[in-house]
A and B are shown apart, each in its own frame.
Chain A
């Protein structure tokens, strides 16, 4: 059966086309101010990449914060279910799944069979989401792509006082003025966001295996800081972590 999953996030809309669990095509579009159009565009691109006509699609599952406005999808998939299914697809032993996106962070604990038993969400505060890294990268005058690898060059631990992204920005500027190396500041930034993410994880209870998905899973600085915060528990990341929830939505649509 061929299904599609669309994850309409705050920043990007991700689409995958699956046949019996195998990824045939995938695409990503900025969500912008028109999520429905981003969803249609990403679906068209993913279908083209898969070499499949739209008529061959059996079902479309939609998830992410923009899912209510996606009329092209018949199934609305709860984000917790999507992330659970997506993570299990890549790592069958997953018991704790963490999804960190541009504006939200989520953790869910699964039972042996992969059913969600508890979850926690942060969707109101930038401190535990990609928006935090973006704001800090701007203050530090490095790109979001560069800031993660930069933090790995440091082994100095500088605690940040501020949790709030707005206050943390002033703190970062203060560090720059105190001539602290950019790598060390970057490390402090990643330790700070990892601390927020780890606190969501602890709310649901940490259990191995831990899987990290979402756009922020691409950031090696966050991966390394989070592993430290979770007392060295290995954090598994799939090859294209930003598509994790979209894969889950496509699997949910397949039933």
Chain B
């Protein structure tokens, strides 16, 4: 339980965005994808296959409410009435709880498709590190899934694990990545415990030994990178590597992971956290083109 005076370092700011170059009034089809994850929910609006706007919100204890909130925020961002939607697909861990969706798809299918859009057709490996699981997906030039591996049993290497560390060290989750490089001397060894519960005790021991918070963050980001690398290796990495999901924003993990893999990750101007919802919206657009409702 969180006490009233303790800062909640796992918190991040909700946001929404509107594409200034597009107008829903002139669009033929406006479709929606909703990705209800364990920590965050996104709604992406697509106008004739282009991104019209989106919202990125926290998932609450009630999935239907989280889905509605994300949709409302995205609709507000582009000032569009809900009845203008031509189709909606739900995805993510809470996808069965998107009351207004016409159908659902797994987040694996949607992330591959969304990454194909955000990073281009050269994407062959999509790594999605979310709040509660890690997925590594191999896909073809159309964004179709050819293989994947996933860990959803254990918090090690997931966003939840990072949140636990952010709270333990009192560093806001959005600053963890940068702070993990702010130390002098050699890069510390990775935290050796796999289990987040034990890694926490190990970190407390390191702080007692005089390590700075930044050194401990570096050691934990490195451990996260190692854990993710072990999963990525199982599916095999192909160049054309894209990272999606919330942890794609954490340079502390991603830079260390890419160094381990020996590749550069593909750049994107977009917020890679929307990949799942975007994929869902694009599939909904396909359905409109085929005339299905």
Q: Is B5 an interface residue (CB 8 A)?
A: no
Chain B interfacial residues counted at CB < 8 A: 17
Q: Is A124 an interface residue (CB 8 A)?
A: yes
User: Would you call A177 and B61 a contact (CB within 8 A)?
Assistant: yes
In A168-191, the 8 Å CB interface with B consists of 170, 173-174, 177
User: Would you call A167 and B155 a contact (CB within 8 A)?
Assistant: yes
A139 to B161, CA, bound (A): 17
User: Would you call A166 and B164 a contact (CB within 8 A)?
Assistant: yes
A163 to B153, CA, bound (A): 6
In the bound complex, residues from chain B placing their C-beta under 8 Å from that of A33 are: 205, 208
A135 to B201, CA, bound (A): 12
Known A141-B1, A167-B132, A167-B155; contact A126-B208, beta-carbon cutoff 8 A: no
- Give the A-B pair count, Cβ closer than 8 A: 42
Known A131-B197, A135-B197; contact A166-B61, beta-carbon cutoff 8 A: no
In the bound complex, residues from chain A placing their C-beta under 8 Å from that of B155 are: 164-167
Known A141-B1, A163-B153, A166-B155; contact A125-B160, beta-carbon cutoff 8 A: no
Task: Pick the residue among B1, B61, B154, B193 that contacts A139 (CB under 8 A).
Answer: B1
User: Would you call B160 and A131 a contact (CB within 8 A)?
Assistant: no
A103 to B196, CA, bound (A): 12
A163 to B195, CA, bound (A): 12
Known A125-B154, A174-B61; contact A166-B198, beta-carbon cutoff 8 A: no
B-facing mask of A133-151, CB < 8 A → 1, else 0?
0010001010000000000
In the bound complex, residues from chain A placing their C-beta under 8 Å from that of B1 are: 139, 141, 173
User: Would you call A126 and B195 a contact (CB within 8 A)?
Assistant: yes
In the bound complex, residues from chain A placing their C-beta under 8 Å from that of B208 are: 33
Q: Is B250 an interface residue (CB 8 A)?
A: no
A77 to B195, CA, bound (A): 26
In the bound complex, residues from chain B placing their C-beta under 8 Å from that of A173 are: 1
In A31-53, the 8 Å CB interface with B consists of 33
A255 to B205, CA, bound (A): 37
Within the complex, what minimum Cβ distance (angstroms) separates A195 from chain B? 13
SS class, residues of chain A in contact with chain B:
helix
Q: Is B174 an interface residue (CB 8 A)?
A: no
In B13-61, the 8 Å CB interface with A consists of 61
User: Would you call B153 and A166 a contact (CB within 8 A)?
Assistant: no
In the bound complex, residues from chain A placing their C-beta under 8 Å from that of B195 are: 124-126, 165
Within the complex, what minimum Cβ distance (angstroms) separates B287 from chain A? 32
Within the complex, what minimum Cβ distance (angstroms) separates B59 from chain A? 11
Q: Is B97 an interface residue (CB 8 A)?
A: no
In the bound complex, residues from chain A placing their C-beta under 8 Å from that of B61 are: 174, 177
Interface centre among B1, B61, B197, B198 (most CB of A within 10 A): B197
Within the complex, what minimum Cβ distance (angstroms) separates A2 from chain B? 35
In the bound complex, residues from chain A placing their C-beta under 8 Å from that of B205 are: 33
User: Would you call B197 and A126 a contact (CB within 8 A)?
Assistant: yes
A135 to B155, CA, bound (A): 14
Identify the closest chain A residue to B153 (Cβ). A163
Interface centre among A132, A141, A163, A170 (most CB of B within 10 A): A170
In the bound complex, residues from chain B placing their C-beta under 8 Å from that of A167 are: 132, 155, 160
A135 to B195, CA, bound (A): 13
In the bound complex, residues from chain B placing their C-beta under 8 Å from that of A132 are: 197
User: Would you call A131 and B198 a contact (CB within 8 A)?
Assistant: yes
Within the complex, what minimum Cβ distance (angstroms) separates B40 from chain A? 14
A7 to B111, CA, bound (A): 50
A141 to B155, CA, bound (A): 22
Identify the closest chain B residue to A141 (Cβ). B1
A132 to B195, CA, bound (A): 11
In the bound complex, residues from chain A placing their C-beta under 8 Å from that of B160 are: 166-167, 170
A208 to B41, CA, bound (A): 50
A167 to B39, CA, bound (A): 12
Within the complex, what minimum Cβ distance (angstroms) separates B152 from chain A? 9
15 CB < 8 A contacts A-B: A124-B194, A124-B198, A125-B194, A126-B198, A163-B153, A164-B196, A165-B155, A165-B196, A165-B197, A166-B160, A166-B161, A166-B164, A166-B196, A166-B197, A173-B1
Write the residues of chain B forming the contact surface with A, with a CB cutoff of 8 angstroms.
Answer: 1, 61, 132, 153-155, 160-161, 164, 193-198, 205, 208
